[in-house]
Amino acid sequence: MEILNTMVIPLILGLTFFMFGMNVMSGGLETMAGGGLERTMKKVTSNDFFGFFLGAGITVAIQSSSAFTVMLVGLVNSGLLNFNNTFGLIMGSNVGTTLTAWLLSLAGLEGKWYIEMLNPSFFAPILAFIGIAMQMFAKSSKKKDLGNIFIGFAILIFGMDLMSDSMVSVRTLPGFDTFLATLKSPIAALLISTVFTGVIQSSAATIGIVQALALSGGITWEMAIPLVLGANIGTCVTALIGALGTNKNAKRVVVMHFSVNVFGSIVCMIIMYILKAVGVSILTAEIAMVGVAIVHTLFNAINTVLLIPIKKLLIKFCEWVVPEGQEKTHTVFLDERIFMNTPLAIDECRKLACEMAVHAKNATNLAISLLDNYSEESVEEVKNLETLTDKYEDKLSTYLVRISHNNLDEFQSHAVARLLHSIGDFERIGDHALNICDAAVEIKEKNISFSTAAKAELVTTTAAVQDILGKAIDSFINDDAELAAHVEPLEQVIDDLRATLKERHILRLQNDECTIELGFVFTDILTNYERISDHCSNLAVYTLQRNSDKLDAHKYLRKFKSDKNQEYFEEYRNYSEKYTV
């Protein structure tokens, strides 16, 4: 019972605090980092040098190689990152995660007071107090995130102290000598560490326990090395779980992560056996906490150097393990693995919104083409595209509403609002495309034809609608405010065209130059054209207001069309001349 109270419970409690503190600190660091690092990661080229340092930097920022690898899986799975570009990122992440061991090794500092002040246990309570104060009194979200980092670090160190204290009398345990004898077998030590890390899903926690054992003077270098290697292999379990249900390239990321750690471990174990055979004395010496940190860093650094020359072979191996095959395609896929990473989740939504915009544009242009070149295949394609835009709208709106419940800053909140408004307009454009398609079907089935004058008017209006649609969609996709500014004058011209053509249509009806039935179809097409231009106007305004505090299309347009805006009226006159009837 005494052993339970003095060693087992403190060890479990310390491990719990350690992992909780790591999670809190990682969350704060990741939020403070924002989407900048992730957006840079998406743009990384095939240059493994830059990828290495980027992977190391992001892992240092979020203090979790497992979280980083799961992030990679999500990025590759959603198509935001190429699998071939993940090698440098993974190797950099493995090196970046060693920082935790170096921070913990400071806990072993002893000596004069100014040396012991470097011990995290000395200043951790101060950081905890500052962090709690920032959480309670700070108004800025950035300061609150910084407070979370301080609190998480303090909890982590407290957990480390509990684990270290529980190891002080570990030598007195009846079975400790047997346990040490087991660890003297490198293969057994490697397997124990791998399984333990896989269960708790934290290599940092395993390394922390190894350092706590080292602080108690309980293990040697030849025992610590396999334990560190096993921690690196076991941490792959998190990514393995995260890859369930993903596509082949995402699974290949996990295979690569696992392969590089297994390869490095095999090489290191062989080297250790050789050194042991020739009688290198350091292997039987007791290891200190800083020694564990050195082993952890050297393993990942040497592993990187060894694997760089055989990168292509490693990629081919991953492709062999996860071969090409027919997999289920996801027309609208939003990866839950990146949901809590708000900046990255918003970027993913924007990517899909751009896809939705292209589908809405294609549906409209295809529907318009049916008025002159009817085909059953094109009709089905328009219907499929309209259904697809509905799916995009449903998935994206649900996902964005969930994101809006996260802790968003002002920029993120504005981005979410803009996307929600925009996908609504894309969905409505798809609906109007289907209406135009229905009109084309009616023309075909009833074998009716417009007059020469009506055809000429429709050609002019169609050209204007396709022009405004192209400008609105392209300005949204490219976030081009300059192009968006050309939309509103053209929208006003299309409104004028509809009014003019409606009057001419009434005159043709009065002069018996057009039938009522044909007139309904003609008016329906014009109405859908005018509605499409309205939605294009909305999209352009959202792009023009991308840096504003809030979206207000009507207020913005009133200001935009003021008498002082000479550019607007000049462009309006130019479009009026271009699309005259």
3-class state of residue 448 by DSSP: coil
Q: Comparing C-alpha atoms, which of 420, 562, 556, 540 is closest to residue 484? A: 540
Using an 8 Å Cβ cutoff, are 574 and 509 in contact? no
The residue behind tokens 């905890």 is 128
pTM for the model stands at: 0.56
Greater confidence (161 vs 208) lies with 208
Burial of 277 (C-beta count, 10 Å sphere; 0-12/13-18/19+) = exposed
557 vs 488: CA distance, rounded Å: 8
Which two tokens mark 118?
């470097």
Confidence at residue 198, expressed as pLDDT on a 0 to 100 scale: 81
Q: In which band, very low, low, confident or very high, does the pLDDT at 366 lie, cut at 50, 70 and 90?
A: very high
405 vs 30: CA distance, rounded Å: 18
pLDDT digits (tens, 9 = 90+) for 445-503: 888 877 788 888 889 999 999 999 999 999 999 989 889 889 989 999 999 998 888 88
Using an 8 Å Cβ cutoff, are 68 and 341 in contact? no
pLDDT digits (tens, 9 = 90+) for 174-187: 555 566 666 778 88
Q: In which band, very low, low, confident or very high, does the pLDDT at 282 lie, cut at 50, 70 and 90?
A: confident
The residue behind tokens 């104060």 is 133
- According to DSSP, residue 288 is labeled P
